[in-house]
Amino acid sequence: PSFFIQRHADMKTRTKKIWTIIVCAVALLGWGVLHLANNSRRLASEGVETGAVLTSSFTRRVQHGPGAGRHRNRATRYEEVGYFSYSYRVGGKLYEGEIRRTGPLVRARVGDSVRVCYLPDAPARHTLVRDGEGNVCFSRGLRSRQGQSRRSE
């Protein structure tokens, strides 16, 4: 009988540990979502735009779909994906970012410019400015409008 009592206690302890892990994981996920939402809200209301320059660029053809094995007769599609690094200056300090994109930005080249929106109190927190369709806009060569507030546009 004591064997069964011990086993039952072990199961209770194991169950408590599992629930503790689940609760912690959900709390961490919730905090992450709230943190991202707060950053997005702050960027939209307090963000300042500036120009950034693409510092590296390459494209890779990516395969989507089954394409191999027993499903090789099913449709496979390919897509050009661009990988880009960019840098921008705020208060004389250089900040860098990276992005992986499809669509029009794939045609961008090193030296082209993009618009960045950053938080004045934390310039490393930034996002690339997008058009109405959600595409990152770029232009040939650097045309920086340093420190222009988003609110004024």
- The one-letter amino acid code at 83 reads Y
DSSP 23-49: HHHHHHHHHHHHHHHHHHHHHHHH-EE
Q: How is residue 143 annotated by DSSP?
A: -
Per-residue model confidence as pLDDT tens digits over 109-147: 888 888 899 999 999 999 888 887 777 777 776 444 444
Per-residue model confidence as pLDDT tens digits over 55-101: 988 888 777 666 555 556 566 777 778 888 999 999 999 999 988 87
